[in-house]
Amino acid sequence: MASHIQSPFEWGWNRSRVSVAGIGTSPPEEYWKQARPATSAPEIRRIGLADLQQALARGVEDFAANRSDVIFLCVLYPIIGLVLGRLAFGYGMLPLLFPLAAGFTLIGPIAGIGLNEMSRRREQSDHISWIDAFGVIHSPSLVAIVQLCALLLAIFALWLVVADGLYNVTLGPEPPVSLSAFAHDVVATDAGWTMIGAGIGIGFLFAVAVLAISVVSFPLLLDRPVSVATALRTSLGVVRANPGTIAVWGVVIAISLVIGSLPFFLGLTVVLPVLGHATWHLYRKVVA
């Protein structure tokens, strides 16, 4: 029988078809192989800065172990960023360019789900690849995960509406005639500085809200069969028990995403995998 050597594209397509088949049909005893997971609200631990350092170190280890796979997986994000920039410049959406880029922190937890899954599977086996990130779709908690994703997307959409309204009451409602004119209006007028100050303040509140409800929500849903409500309560409980540590974690995420967005969002191919993997290990430390 003649053998057939698959091209990378053919191999990826075939693996993807296998992964997509049977979405959400894995029984709990198959998906959670280590032990039968508890369904009650988990116990929350107190953690410190040393735990954050260890979680980040473990995130770097996971990234290094699967460097080529996760870079391939995350190369989509710089492409999305460039497309958003092109749309902003080409279709009069320039005032929303910064809110779109800044708002990535609001949906970042969604982008990290597959990386959380890779870290979860790496605890069970050292032999994983980028295709294992799509194992999320086999999770018995898939419906709850989709519900949480919808919540974060709704918050992101609300942020864009608020940002657009803020532009309209300060520099708008007419769109800027050029990039240079827009930049001048932003930094050289009182209305521009009002928009900057209000935008930073409101954006900060959005970011804090998302951090509070998502810091361990997705890893918890991947790890055990709990409801969205339980995941949200647990995440809020983690923040209440560790306000200072989680605040530092939020600052680390914000600074990392800013650095990763320069130049042209290319740094996200490294920053996002590390943060995504580290989030799983942070969950392991703070949730018993």
Question: Could you say which DSSP state residue 287 is in?
Answer: B
pLDDT, average across residues 146-175: 90
66 versus 86: the higher-pLDDT residue is: 66
Mean pLDDT, to the nearest integer, of 27-40?
A: 59
Residues 6+ apart with CB under 8 A from 57: none
pLDDT value for 205:
94
Of 130-144, 146-160, 272-286, least confident by mean pLDDT is 130-144
For 190, the token pair is 């009182």
DSSP H or E stretch at residue 134: none
Task: Write the Ramachandran bin of 24: left for phi over 0, alpha for psi from -120 to 50, otherwise beta.
Answer: left
Please report which confidence band the pLDDT of residue 14 belongs to, taking 50, 70 and 90 as the band edges: low
Model pLDDT, residue 19? 47
Q: Identify the DSSP state of 34.
A: S
User: Is the distance from CB of 210 to CB of 127 less than 8 angstroms?
Assistant: no
Predicted confidence (pLDDT) at residue 3 exceeds the cutoff of 80: no
Determine the Cα–Cα distance for residues 117 and 138; give it in Å rounded to an integer.
Answer: 11
The residue with greater pLDDT, 33 or 162, is 162
Looking at every residue in the chain, the average pLDDT score rounds to: 79
Q: What is the pLDDT of residue 137?
A: 80
In tens, the pLDDT along 102-125 reads 777 788 888 888 888 888 888 877
> What's residue 23's pLDDT?
47
pLDDT at 252 over 70: yes
Instruction: Give Cα 32 distance to the centre of its chain.
Output: 23
pLDDT band at 47 (very low <50, low <70, confident <90, very high): very high
Phi/psi at 44 (5° precision): -105, 130
Tens of pLDDT, residues 49-82? 999 999 999 998 888 877 655 555 555 555 665 5
Which residue would you say has higher pLDDT here, 68 or 27?
A: 27
Q: What is the DSSP letter of 138?
A: G
Question: What is the rounded average pLDDT of the residues 250-256?
Answer: 90
**Residue 182, pLDDT score:** 84
Supply the pLDDT for residue 231: 94
Give the pLDDT of residue 51: 95
244, 82 contact by CB (below 8 A):
no
Which of 203-217, 220-234, 247-261 bottoms out in mean pLDDT, i.e. has the lowest? Answer: 247-261
What is the Cα–Cα distance from 148 to 139, expressed in whole angstroms? 14
pLDDT recorded at residue 20: 46
- The answer on pLDDT for 22 being more than 50 is no
